[in-house]
Amino acid sequence: MDLDVRLDGFDEPIGRLVSNQRGAVSFAYDGEYLRRPDALGISLSLPLQEEPFDDYSTRAYFDNLLQERDTARADIIAKYRLANDDIVGILYYLGKDCAGAISVLPQGAPPTKVPGDLAQDYRPYSDVELEAIVLALHRREPLPSELADPSPLAGVQSKIAVAVLPDGRIAEPINGAPTTHILKVPRERSEREAAHEHDAMALSANLGFDTATTELMKIAGVPVLRVERFDRRLEATRVTRLHQEDFCQALGLHARQKYQRPDRGDNGYSAQAIRGILDRTVEPAAERSRFLRVTLFDILIGNVDGHAKNFALFHLAGGRVMTTPRYDVIPTMLDRGTTDEFAYRLGPASSLDELDGAALDTFLADLGFSSAAGRKRILSKALDQVMGSLAAQIDTLGRTNKNFADLLATNIRTLCYNLGRDIPVEARDRDTYVR
């Protein structure tokens, strides 16, 4: 099977995805595309080159384009009797709806992803339709068939991609136009999830991190989080997609390898692997410093789900890459049913209880901070900044979200105890959050 790979913004296919009779797959860029001065590599793991990429590298990237919730995938496999690892056969049916700016289509098929005009390429949902969508997601039921998600999303949360028109109405795209926002709908009995993520994203923005904008709203009585997409550009009423990839794709890892686990050794997701990505960005030193502060921030707010699909890169002309704004910032430790294990180890530490000065020093060394004296100074400065900023927001957070404020204060106290640091006054006397 031979499929066209398209990138929104380019009129012609940029490459071909091929499987042979033995089931091996490969990807190769189109020669004309390679000669374009504005050609973008679709992944750090698939850089611009004439030679085709092997089966492993190709599978890792293109498998990551499909949803992690694999209901649609399972349906296609069953309907057409495909093998579970027949990634090209599966993309033949699902490739037009890949996440992001990439689409995979039958050879010669017209593009299914094109820029959109908010004035003509979107149909507003009626109140009844929007309520039906939210209630179905809230109850974990299938969406009404006539309201199927036009832009499937990765991840395990229940969500749908939509567009927000200039007058505030929520709409579905038509004619292959991009969405502009994501609606995240909490499951029944977990309605506080939306507020938790909204507060966490606000804390991230307040600390100075470039963070996707969120708004908490109610639809059909359900609290819904509306997230502005960071991978879109809006100029007047014209909407275009920006090409990005997550760290899993950049590292050439399959989606199931998004966490670091001991049995995978050093070849999967790890601090050293993250350094390899950051070293290839346009500002490696600034990106390493930012990632250190992001890591401390996530630990303190109880977001231990910083796996390889929760960080991403923009691809820019000339082979340049830079990290994207923050997204999916969630205090996972507020859910007592989740693990407190880090997504990847910081030195030998796999949880906050194990995180001490030696572990953090190893983590900084793994990120590329070479000088021991420099690491000590850089860590102290980062801790002062992140811990001080978060501590200053505890009381305000506690007025509307006591559990989150208590968790934040508890984590600050734990880390200060582990590091022999003075506990900020705002965190000293709050209740302990017990998981």
Q: What is the pLDDT of residue 307?
A: 95
Sheet of 312-316: strands edge to edge? 244-246, 312-316, 320-323
256 burial via Cβ count (<10 Å: 0-12, 13-18, 19+): exposed
d(C-alpha 306, C-alpha 298), whole Å: 8
Q: Which domains does the chain have, with CATH numbers?
A: 2-106 (no CATH), 116-235 (no CATH), 249-428 (1.10.1070)
C-alpha torsion angle, residues 383, 268, 45, 276 (rounded to 10): 30
Coil/strand/helix, residue 372: helix
What is the identity of the amino acid at 30? D
Strand boundaries in 238-316, DSSP class E: 238-241, 244-246, 312-316
The answer, yes or no, to whether residue 262 has pLDDT greater than 80, is no
Nearest-CA neighbor of 280 among 47, 93, 98, 73? 47
Q: What is the pLDDT of residue 267?
A: 65
| Greater pLDDT, 261 or 46 | 46
Render pLDDT for 333-368 as a digit per residue (tens, 0 to 9).
999 889 999 999 999 999 999 999 999 999 999 999
Nearest-CA neighbor of 168 among 201, 132, 217? 217
Q: What is the pLDDT of residue 83?
A: 84
Q: What is the pLDDT of residue 158?
A: 84
Query: Tokens 């790979």 map to which residue?
Result: 5
Q: What is the pLDDT of residue 154?
A: 47
d(C-alpha 210, C-alpha 329), whole Å: 12
d(C-alpha 172, C-alpha 135), whole Å: 17
pLDDT above 70 covers what percent of the chain? Answer: 95
- Under a CB-based contact definition with an 8 Å cutoff, are residues 118 and 31 in contact? no
Nearest-CA neighbor of 229 among 246, 212, 206? 212
d(C-alpha 138, C-alpha 103), whole Å: 29
User: Which of 30-39, 67-76, 112-121, 382-391 is predicted least confidently?
Assistant: 67-76
Largest CA distance in the chain: 67
389 burial via Cβ count (<10 Å: 0-12, 13-18, 19+): middle
Residues 6+ apart with CB under 8 A from 405: 394, 395, 397, 398, 430
Render pLDDT for 78-94 as a digit per residue (tens, 0 to 9).
888 888 889 999 999 98
Q: What is the pLDDT of residue 295?
A: 98
d(C-alpha 3, C-alpha 91), whole Å: 9
| Greater pLDDT, 317 or 28 | 28
Nearest-CA neighbor of 376 among 330, 420, 428? 420
Kindly list the distances between the CA atom of residue 43 and the CA atoms of 91, 144, 166, 267, in Å, as whole numbers in the listed order: 18, 35, 33, 18
The answer, yes or no, to whether residue 137 has pLDDT greater than 80, is yes
| φ/ψ of residue 391, rounded to 5 | -60, -40
pLDDT above 90 covers what percent of the chain? Answer: 81
- pLDDT band at residue 318 under the 50/70/90 scheme: confident
The answer, yes or no, to whether residue 99 has pLDDT greater than 90, is no
- Under a CB-based contact definition with an 8 Å cutoff, are residues 27 and 5 in contact? yes
Q: What is the pLDDT of residue 81?
A: 87
Q: Please tell me the number of Cα atoms within 13 Å of 265 on its side-chain side.
A: 1
The answer, yes or no, to whether residue 44 has pLDDT greater than 90, is yes
Q: What is the pLDDT of residue 155?
A: 45
d(C-alpha 270, C-alpha 277), whole Å: 11
Please state the rounded mean pLDDT for residues 251-262.
87
Render pLDDT for 14-36 as a digit per residue (tens, 0 to 9).
999 999 988 899 999 999 999 99
Nearest-CA neighbor of 7 among 34, 40, 35? 40
Please state the rounded mean pLDDT for residues 244-250.
96
d(C-alpha 257, C-alpha 243), whole Å: 22
Q: What is the pLDDT of residue 156?
A: 44
Quickly list H helices, 176-279. Answer: 192-206, 247-250, 271-278
d(C-alpha 88, C-alpha 55), whole Å: 11
Nearest-CA neighbor of 330 among 230, 203, 232, 415? 203
Q: Please give the mean pLDDT across all residues of the chain.
A: 93
